[in-house]
Amino acid sequence: MTDIPWTWFVMRASGLVAVALLTLAVVLGIIGPRLAPTARLTSITVHRAASVAGAALIVGHVVLAIIDQWITLDWPAVLLPGVAGWQRWGVGLGALAVDLTIALLLTTATRLRWPRLWRRTHLVAYPVWALAVGHGLLVGTDGTTMQVLALASTGLVLLSVAARLVTRPRAASRPALTAPAEHATVGGAR
């Protein structure tokens, strides 16, 4: 039996899966608006699910990093870039990603009230993804696995950006919100 605590394994796995889910969310966020209406609705659903699951895994990743016995990490290091005593640069990238993720989550929770703020803040998802990949590359102990994941993730995001740039935007296919009475004539005749 190994002396490595279970928290170490779960922390590493949650970080890797979180990067994969964030990549999926970013890719769908980029190409979703160019899809046909039915596919667009599906992409929005999967985008949201991947985002929520990725955020939940990040929370678990952070909590496990703090309680893990192999590394020394405290709460300030999770939120303040550059204060970690262990792997200062890599943990700093992760802390910055956590801070920006908190901003994303807060504005997403209030997006119906302040849609412009949400839309502007939502663009922070791209640096969050890049910071998470950088964090994994600098701190991750699964060197080869993280390098392959980083390469695949970067390739998918770049491919989705290229696809978005070369495809034409779809015409707005939303039905006009009109009352049924506006379409009918007096007595039901047309």
Condensed to tens digits (0 to 9), the pLDDT of residues 8-40 reads: 888 889 999 999 999 999 999 999 999 999 999
| pLDDT greater than 50 at residue 54 | yes
| pLDDT greater than 70 at residue 185 | no
- What is the chain's mean pLDDT, rounded? 84
Its pTM stands at 0.81
Residue 2: the pLDDT is 61
Question: What mean pLDDT comes out for the span 69-82?
Answer: 76
pLDDT-derived band at 1 (thresholds 50, 70, 90) equals: very low
Percent of residues, the chain, with pLDDT higher than 90:
47
Spatial neighbors of 6 by CB under 8 A, at least 6 apart, are none
Within 10 Å of residue 103's Cβ, how many Cβ atoms?
A: 13
Burial 45-62 (b: 16+ CB within 10 A, else e): eebeebbebbbebbebbb
